[in-house]
Structure 1
Amino acid sequence: MKQIIQNLQNGQTILEEVPAPQVRPGCVLIQTRRSLVSLGTERMLVEFGQAGLIQKARQQPERVKLVLDKIRTDGLLPTLEAVFNKLGQPLPLGYCNVGKVLAVGQGVADLQIGDRVASNGPHAEVVCVPRNLVAKVPDAVSDDEAAFTVIGAIGLQGIRLLNPTLGETVVVVGLGLIGLLTAELLRLNGCRVVGIDLDEAKLQVARAKGILTCNPSQGDDPVKFVEALTQGVGTDGVIITASAKTNELVSQAARMSRKRGRIILVGVTGLHLSRAEFYEKELSFQVSCSYGPGRYDDTYEQQGTDYPLPFVRWTENRNFQAILQLLAARSLDVGPLISEIVPLEEYQKIYGALGTSGAIASLLRYPEEVLQQTVVRHQERSFAGRTGVLGIIGAGNFTQMTLLPILKGTSLKYIASANGLSGTSLAQKHGIAHSTTDYHTILQDDEVDLVLITTRHHQHARLAQEALKAGKHVFVEKPLAIFQEELDELIQTYQALEGTPRSLTVGFNRRFSPHAQKMKALLGQVPMNVVATMNAGFIPTSSWVHDRAVGGGRILGEACHFVDLITYLTGSRVVAVCMNVLGTQPTETTDNATLLLKYENGSTGVINYFANGSKAYAKERVEVYAQERTLVLDNFRMLTGYGFKGFTRLKTPLDKGHKNLFGTLLERVKTGGAPLIPFDELVNTTQTTLAALESLRRGEWVRIE
């Protein structure tokens, strides 16, 4: 299938061939008929992509500080590589989609195949969208009209925040598509509406809808215009739908407002507010968040948990429905807003003239028939007779920034991603023969020897089992499992395959760092005390990492690295664990915790996993004390020894062992040999982190069976 994407590195807008997505639980698979190009939002994205590196930095100064902090901790070259990898990720364009349902995922009961629906899907021939972002289109609403559903909901949400009453005067600043829709919806709400814009053509459309207009480019003073209209009282409310880099629009809105007036920002402007302008009138100012309540809440959008209607009357989905009802009743007329309808293949007629055509709303028309291939071939390569042929399931940050640069020059046959786009982009960049949205294609291909699983954590154990049963060597990015039940099932699967030449490796890369291996050689097999500190950095609580059912929390998902490292250094296994956390109301997904470990050979381990430290400080530090000797490892760049004959210091660029891990793994897959990490150690590490959570619940040490 085809999809429109924006390349943020070279600024090109591309119609890309990508594998069609497959329906996921809680989602709807849709064949697109129409999609609306949001000229304002998409123009900003296109212009950002076309900007140079310095211009990009100026547009996002907050990210520049993060980059500088990363340079101090990780070094210049790794930081630059991370920045360019991030810019290399393609950006899907579009969020106003109409089509027919091809399939419904598990848990979706109120939609059927063949239904017409509107969603926030991108400009793509087939999209997979969570149920709460999909609304059924009434029969009386055409595809062209329904394409305005999502963008209409943006204007509607701004109005709901303004909370206008019948007869109030409301000013809409900026009569682009959202502004015109907002003005018309306000008229339906019984308001007297004033539209302000510099484009006379848009003002003419507004006047035809009964909206009073003001054009500053022709000498009109918006503040005086409103004062004259309201006999000096001022407007009851202002909704700003325009985009501007200065603070003038907000200042202007404050000056034209009545005492205790309300200002809502839907667009993008400077936000340096004048205290005097707001103080004297006791003005209210609020920024509107997209489609309405539920936006950017994974529980609502991705997991499908609706907000109860009696308490949240207007969610984003119910806003979609409200727009569709107005369209069906012919109360909202979007016909005059349609400037052009262009076939998908001729998309450059729209994107080549963004900001210059004078168009208000441009629609893309899609083919009636779509080839829903789930595999796209990017290179003609033969893998017959080769060993070490790879298939990757997962195309996230770890795959892009760590895994693929290391695997350059290897036999990469497949990469699978849920949406198809990220996998396709990485396949083209790294010379992977095929991209796919169906990971079963990888498991069923006899030429694939090693499957690398880098998905979100809740899929690790299940995918590892499937790959093992398919007769593959398996690498799974940590953690191995996030629940005891799935760990037990994986153990049974692995034991049932015992004696076969297949192996299971978990991405505990720290033990493969030259620093860790030097420490092991220096220490030998003696009891020791190990203190490991991870200055992990803050991650918002809304992130999937903190979701116990998806990410498992950072103790399960990341602190496991240091359980394995200490196990490697001590040459022993954990027999008991106790975890203490910061705060008086601890949770399983806390990321400020200390783990105390007892090892079978008498060694002890302390893991400090903290998310409340400075980003300017090194991320990882390990100290080992044994037989009146001390080793200190600083961020896998500097190892310093105290009390060792013939060793003082080992200094390297940042090296956490990834390259050595994958190089050794590929060699074992090709030539055979023992697993890189014994299976019982993988299990012991996973059991330890699960027992740490149990220790937190019980408030005591927990033994590891």
Structure 2
Amino acid sequence: MKRQSLIFKAPLVLEIREEECPTPHKGEVLVKTLYSAISTGTELLAFTGQIPTWLSLDETLPALRGTFSLPFKYGYACVGEVIAVGKEVAETWLGRKVFAFNPHESAFVASVESLIPLPEGLGEEDLLFLPNMETAINLVQDGRPILGEQVVVFGLGMVGLLTTALLTRFPLSRIVALDRYPLRRKAGMELGITATFDPLSEDVLRGLRSILETLGYHQGADLVFEVSGAPGALNQAVEITGYSGRIVIGSWYGRKPVALDLGGRFHRSRIQMIASQVSTIAPELSGRWNKQRRLEMALEALKWLRPSFWISHRFPFERAAEAFRLLYEYPEDTLQVILTYS
């Protein structure tokens, strides 16, 4: 059986390559891909050559062995249908819809242990948001919002929107978000948050302070999430974080340099900066939480949010290069872009 795989061939260059699809062995199944989602964070960094070539694709995922040394396959959000099973796999798997952390390709072989069956009551396209929802949950767990806090989110890409959606479930006094693009700010406001701002506007800091300093007894944000992917956002985050506040950094900047000003109010304000990355659980939570529990929580969150309404574009797999170009050249027109497979 032949399959088509998306290859990251050079910076800004993609190629669809036909190749032999492996046969499922013991404990494995063959999956025909129905949809895959494109990440506007890590995948765009890979598309533009902004990730160090020596870095592993993902040491925790069997489908993403190797490094970012060109050429390589990438992607980690596929939904498909099981069309063949290997030895010692029950035939009840045949026809089952599943999620896999797998690169963009029309078919693939995976162990049954690595697949996540489509839960009852959840749409196939909603399931594409699973990796980003896991990331959002990890961010919130690392930030540990407290009743009545003022929270600011930098970046309303998909991770930022999902993080903001989770935060609206907490009894916080205010949630404010920043993003360059009106479409994303509109999506944030539709979640019922307090306000949104353009981080590049001249009066953004004044606007933020007018909201965050009205409580009187506590000035500035208690908790800030930086998920914009823009290194300059960190200095803005420091500017609006209050005394002993926390800044959770979920952005991966790749090769982009980060010029961080720690000589101003950062030091005297005792601000904490927390690195958050979904590949691991925070050590202080690992006594009660593991990846399976977090995954189950992410699936439940997808059921109540049903985020597929944020899909702004659907491209046939054959037009994958066009989809990536759209995200790279016109990000202001997009929310979530997915690929569909015939």
User: Does the pair score TM above 0.5?
Assistant: yes
The one-letter amino acid of 1:257's match is T
Q: Which of 318, 321, 335 is equivalent to 1:360?
A: 335
Deviation at 1:183, TM superposition (A): 0.8
1:209-288 matches, cutoff 5 A: 209-211=191-193, 212-222=195-205, 223-228=208-213, 230-231=215-216, 232-244=218-230, 246=231, 248-269=232-253, 270=258, 272=260, 274=262, 277-288=265-276
1:201 match: secondary structure = helix
- Given that 1:150 and 1:291 are in contact with CA atoms closer than 8 Å, whether structure 2 keeps it comes out as no
Measure the CA separation in 2 of the matches of 1:226 and 1:234: 9
| 1:32 is the counterpart of 2:33 | yes
The one-letter amino acid of 2:71's match is P
Measure the CA separation in 1 of the matches of 2:221 and 2:22: 48
Partner of 1:42: 43
Measure the CA separation in 2 of the matches of 1:27 and 1:190: 45
1:367-386 matches, cutoff 5 A: 367=342
From the superposition, tell whether residues 132 and 255 of structure 1 become closer, same or farther in structure 2 (CA, over 3 Å): farther
User: Which has the larger displacement, 251-260 or 274-283?
Assistant: 274-283
Q: Which of 292, 296, 301 is equivalent to 1:326?
A: 301
From the superposition, tell whether residues 254 and 3 of structure 1 become closer, same or farther in structure 2 (CA, over 3 Å): same
Structure with higher RCO (Cα < 8 A, 6+ apart): 2
- Given that 2:30 and 2:83 are in contact with CA atoms closer than 8 Å, whether structure 1 keeps it comes out as yes
Measure the CA separation in 2 of the matches of 1:279 and 1:259: 10
1:496-507 matches, cutoff 5 A: none
Q: Structure 2 stretches of 5 or more lacking a match?
A: 56-66
The one-letter amino acid of 2:247's match is I
1:6 match: secondary structure = strand
1:216 match: secondary structure = coil
Measure the CA separation in 2 of the matches of 1:106 and 1:283: 55
The one-letter amino acid of 1:15's match is I
From the superposition, tell whether residues 187 and 41 of structure 1 become closer, same or farther in structure 2 (CA, over 3 Å): same
Residue by residue over 1:667-697, the C-alpha shift from the partner in whole angstroms, topping out at 9 and shown as x without a partner, is: xxxxxxxxxxxxxxxxxxxxxxxxxxxxxxx
Residue by residue over 1:484-534, the C-alpha shift from the partner in whole angstroms, topping out at 9 and shown as x without a partner, is: xxxxxxxxxxxxxxxxxxxxxxxxxxxxxxxxxxxxxxxxxxxxxxxxxxx
From the superposition, tell whether residues 60 and 88 of structure 1 become closer, same or farther in structure 2 (CA, over 3 Å): closer
Measure the CA separation in 1 of the matches of 2:25 and 2:110: 9
The one-letter amino acid of 1:313's match is W
User: Which has the larger displacement, 161-170 or 18-27?
Assistant: 18-27
Deviation at 1:273, TM superposition (A): 5.8
1:405-554 matches, cutoff 5 A: none
Residue by residue over 1:349-383, the C-alpha shift from the partner in whole angstroms, topping out at 9 and shown as x without a partner, is: 3123222332110111112xxxxxxxxxxxxxxxx
From the superposition, tell whether residues 275 and 220 of structure 1 become closer, same or farther in structure 2 (CA, over 3 Å): closer
Measure the CA separation in 2 of the matches of 1:351 and 1:61: 20
From the superposition, tell whether residues 112 and 273 of structure 1 become closer, same or farther in structure 2 (CA, over 3 Å): farther
Measure the CA separation in 1 of the matches of 2:158 and 2:4: 26
2:189 match: secondary structure = helix
- Given that 1:173 and 1:240 are in contact with CA atoms closer than 8 Å, whether structure 2 keeps it comes out as yes
2:329 match: secondary structure = coil
Partner of 1:13: 14
From the superposition, tell whether residues 206 and 215 of structure 1 become closer, same or farther in structure 2 (CA, over 3 Å): same
Measure the CA separation in 2 of the matches of 1:151 and 1:125: 22
Measure the CA separation in 2 of the matches of 1:19 and 1:168: 54
Rg larger in 1 or in 2? 1
From the superposition, tell whether residues 60 and 39 of structure 1 become closer, same or farther in structure 2 (CA, over 3 Å): closer
Measure the CA separation in 2 of the matches of 1:205 and 1:336: 10
1:170 match: secondary structure = strand
From the superposition, tell whether residues 189 and 33 of structure 1 become closer, same or farther in structure 2 (CA, over 3 Å): farther
- Given that 1:226 and 1:256 are in contact with CA atoms closer than 8 Å, whether structure 2 keeps it comes out as no
Measure the CA separation in 1 of the matches of 2:54 and 2:16: 31
2:192 match: secondary structure = coil
Deviation at 1:108, TM superposition (A): 7.8
From the superposition, tell whether residues 236 and 127 of structure 1 become closer, same or farther in structure 2 (CA, over 3 Å): farther
From the superposition, tell whether residues 348 and 228 of structure 1 become closer, same or farther in structure 2 (CA, over 3 Å): same
Partner of 2:120: 139
Residue by residue over 1:522-573, the C-alpha shift from the partner in whole angstroms, topping out at 9 and shown as x without a partner, is: xxxxxxxxxxxxxxxxxxxxxxxxxxxxxxxxxxxxxxxxxxxxxxxxxxxx
User: In percent, how many aligned pairs have the same letter?
Assistant: 24
2:20 match: secondary structure = coil
1:660-679 matches, cutoff 5 A: none
Residue by residue over 1:58-113, the C-alpha shift from the partner in whole angstroms, topping out at 9 and shown as x without a partner, is: x75999xxxxxxxxxxxxxxxxxxxxxx987422131111122345677989x933
- The two structures have a TM-score, normalised by structure 1, of 0.41
- Given that 1:145 and 1:335 are in contact with CA atoms closer than 8 Å, whether structure 2 keeps it comes out as yes
| 1:347 is the counterpart of 2:320 | yes
Measure the CA separation in 2 of the matches of 1:225 and 1:355: 34
From the superposition, tell whether residues 260 and 27 of structure 1 become closer, same or farther in structure 2 (CA, over 3 Å): farther
Measure the CA separation in 1 of the matches of 2:187 and 2:72: 32
Measure the CA separation in 2 of the matches of 1:256 and 1:24: 55
Q: Structure 1 stretches of 5 or more lacking a match?
A: 49-55, 64-85, 295-306, 368-705
More helix by share: 1
Q: Which of 93, 114, 120 is equivalent to 2:101?
A: 120
Partner of 2:62: none
Residue by residue over 1:371-421, the C-alpha shift from the partner in whole angstroms, topping out at 9 and shown as x without a partner, is: xxxxxxxxxxxxxxxxxxxxxxxxxxxxxxxxxxxxxxxxxxxxxxxxxxx
2:289 match: secondary structure = coil
Measure the CA separation in 2 of the matches of 1:143 and 1:35: 10
- Given that 1:175 and 1:196 are in contact with CA atoms closer than 8 Å, whether structure 2 keeps it comes out as yes
Residue by residue over 1:267-317, the C-alpha shift from the partner in whole angstroms, topping out at 9 and shown as x without a partner, is: 1342746165443222221211135439xxxxxxxxxxxx9x9834141x4
Partner of 1:164: 145
Measure the CA separation in 2 of the matches of 1:264 and 1:132: 32
The one-letter amino acid of 1:258's match is G
Q: Which of 267, 287, 304 is equivalent to 1:311?
A: 287
The one-letter amino acid of 1:267's match is S
1:175 match: secondary structure = coil
From the superposition, tell whether residues 193 and 25 of structure 1 become closer, same or farther in structure 2 (CA, over 3 Å): farther
Partner of 1:71: none
Measure the CA separation in 1 of the matches of 2:170 and 2:110: 31
- Given that 1:5 and 1:93 are in contact with CA atoms closer than 8 Å, whether structure 2 keeps it comes out as yes
The one-letter amino acid of 1:207's match is M
From the superposition, tell whether residues 96 and 241 of structure 1 become closer, same or farther in structure 2 (CA, over 3 Å): same
Residue by residue over 1:177-222, the C-alpha shift from the partner in whole angstroms, topping out at 9 and shown as x without a partner, is: 1111111111123433211111111101111111221223343424
From the superposition, tell whether residues 185 and 133 of structure 1 become closer, same or farther in structure 2 (CA, over 3 Å): farther
Q: Which of 74, 78, 81 is equivalent to 1:93?
A: 74
Deviation at 1:260, TM superposition (A): 2.0
Partner of 2:4: 2
